[in-house]
Structure 1
Amino acid sequence: MSNPRIAFIGAGNMAASLIGGLRAQGMDGQLISASDPGAEQRAKIASDHGITVFANNGDAVKGADVVVLAVKPQAMKTVCLALAPELQGNQMIVSIAAGITCASLQTWLSTPNAPTRPIVRCMPNTPALLRQGVSGLFANAQVNTAQRQQAEQLLSAVGVALWLEEEHLIDAVTAVSGSGPAYFFLLIEAMTAAGEKLGLPAATAAQLTLQTALGAARMAVASDVDAAELRRRVTSPAGTTEAAIKSFQAGGFEALVEQALNAAAHRSAELAEQLGQ
């Protein structure tokens, strides 16, 4: 990264993951600060990553080029209203809180001296904790090219970062990848339970399912063809896989997945409206 100073407001799991990713990429710990109300959490993140920590948010953002808002969505308005007078006009705001729009952040962070601020809204997911995440990013008009690069490098420290041209698409990202890990966990649960009912020991059913999920994901990522083609290649006519696939489809599998993602996207939009008030 081009050596910006980064301040994290909130030092929970996602902030710790981002900080860990930046440090693993070689970023100097002296360029990173974080604030958190919990003394124990401050001590842990300072010890784990060699950064400066503060109890006061205003102290953390002094001299920072990038301010990462990593607090719970329900607390964001209160945090932003208190933080706004402490910010400098050229500091880029990066929010990783679900359901908080750029417009809401702009309203809460606006001051007479800085009526508008450069804001990047992100939707990461929990595999970021293992630096295997994927994030959707949207930048408002005040974000310049250098700041876009800084935001992308920040989120790339924990996985893949993908830019969106329209903010409303954050709801779709939430439905697909933000909530997505839980869908796969549900399938893993169901396959493990079914394996047990077929007579496998619980530990064996779990290991078979987990390793199959991991192997399939790695094949899909590494392949030069799409998932549909990979499925066709392992589905022999009149074979065991075809029997299972036909059963899935007879139960409306594709339509159910679409319905589920639509429900998640709709709820994401609802939360943005509620939390932005």
Structure 2
Amino acid sequence: NKMVMDKLISEALLRQKAQEMKIKIYERQIDDGIAEIKKRFPAKTSKEADDMLFQELNKQNMTMSEFREKIKRDLMARKLVEDVIRSKVKDPKEEDIKKYYDTVLSIMNNKAKPENMKEEDFQEYTNVANKFKELISERLRLRHILIKPETNDIVGKNKALELANKVKSELDNGADFEDLAAKYSQDAQSASRGGDIGYVIKGMLPKELDDVVFKMCPGDISKPIETQFGYHIVRVDEKRIAQKLKYELAHDDIENIIRQNIFADEVDKYVNELRAKAKIEIFNDK
């Protein structure tokens, strides 16, 4: 695959240049780099993460010292890019930020790809538009108590609904929602937080919940609502109304996106200069 090959060559050229320039990396930075990698493992303890890392290295036939050397070379390449290129990246012009904002707005409103726009650019603008849409949409802060049926048949469902109705009547009689969430809710993640599921916007929840909760007001508690997960009793804690995407709100985020794009272009330019000077041989295994 040409893209993969290009990426590997670019990384190799940056590492080589970093070694030529004798870029200094300290042991502490290598330790930090390894700690960052270990965070990606689904480990509960530090010891478990160590074991997972060793297993991964064994799979790749790599010793710990070879792995540290690899991390060091990667960090050198990253520092080279930072040192050489960061200084070339100028602050985006105000008119460029405004133009980007106008394009995002038009995509938010029309969803269609403007003529003459490259597909990859359209994809970027669409992703940014979606993030902003999330930021300005009407949002609710919710708590819920989820009662799951023990079995999928009618008996299981009826028992779950019975319990959900019992919980609802306790709430109607003044019981504390957070206490009952901790006691009854079978959504383990939110039960420990008193049923708090944070802020949601339309489309994040199952349709059956969306249809009810967005008509509720802060302080309202729903009757049990059935979804594929079971029966939910929902309380609205807060309601934020939808707002317009003002230029001031979007400005700093867009400025950062443009700055990152300029940075990426400068990296490409720099790597292409290194390529022009390098002798690259690709050996195919016969």
TM-score (norm 2): 0.28
RCO higher in structure (CA 8 A, sep ≥6): 2
TM-score (norm 1): 0.28
Which is greater in Rg?
A: 2
